[in-house]
Amino acid sequence: MEINQSEVCNLDLAKNLRDLGVKQTGEFCWIYSIEGRKNVWRVSHKDAPYSDYAIRDGAPCAFTVAELGAMFPNEVVYPVRNCVGKWQHAGYLPGQYFASEADARAKMYIYFIENGLLPVP
């Protein structure tokens, strides 16, 4: 199963979530692979060949928008796309803009955990 990398949180946010202790239960993960002559990070389904090795070795989950949304309580207001096509959440992260909704949700979740507003799942 393939997924566009813009539909999951970026690698840095995924590592941050992992390092904060968020359970790595997503359907996709970031894996380090060889493509042509370059080593690159890419998103892979957790059941794809070699993904299980990457997960055991600590590869971070590439959480989707839906997976990140399910981690929040119902009262949380989600990020919106502004007039220039960037995602933002003025209520919690004013002045910060993100390339994707997944990145905005991941950063908001990190903010909640770091500020004691949500427990680490």
Residue 63 sits at φ, ψ, to 5 deg, of: -65, 135
Q: Which two tokens stand for residue 53?
A: 């090795």
Give the predicted TM-score (pTM) of the model: 0.83
DSSP assigned state of 71: T
| pLDDT at res. 64 | 95
Query: How far apart (Å, rounded) are the C-alpha atoms in residues 110 and 83?
Result: 25
Q: Is the pLDDT of residue 52 over 70?
A: no
Region 17-25: what's the mean pLDDT?
93
Position 51 confidence tier, pLDDT thresholds 50, 70, 90 = low
Which residue, chain included where needed, has tokens 């080593």?
39
Model confidence over 80-109: pLDDT tens digits?
777 667 777 766 777 788 888 899 899 989
